[in-house]
Amino acid sequence: MAKTSKEKGTSTARQRAVAASTRNKKKKGGIKEYFKGVKLEMKKVVWPTKKELGSFTAVVLVTCVVFAAVFWAVDTGVLAAIKAVCF
């Protein structure tokens, strides 16, 4: 006897639920396994050289100064506009 479309959907939903519970059981490994994974991933990291680090730091500082100057200019302009209109 062939399954109806409703029965097929129920079967598929059950299969998904079983697969999800199986995946959840496999994820349990404890804190020791977690830190083993962290150590393994940290070995894969490509750290910047001193020259690259200095360059990146300079870019961040210059960007901060530029944004601060832009925000200051906009704030000063808006304040001047409000004072001109209201006072």
d(CA 1, CA 6): 14
Q: Which helix (H) or strand (E) covers residue 59, if one does?
A: helix 50-86
**83 CB burial (10 A radius; 0-12, 13-18, 19+):** exposed
DSSP 5: H
| Residues 52, 59: Cα–Cα separation, whole Å | 11
Report the chain's terminal Cα–Cα distance, integer Å.
Answer: 87
On the question of pLDDT at 2 being above 70, the answer is: no
pTM for this entry: 0.52
What tens digit of pLDDT does each residue of 3-41 get?
555 555 566 777 777 666 655 555 567 899 999 999 999
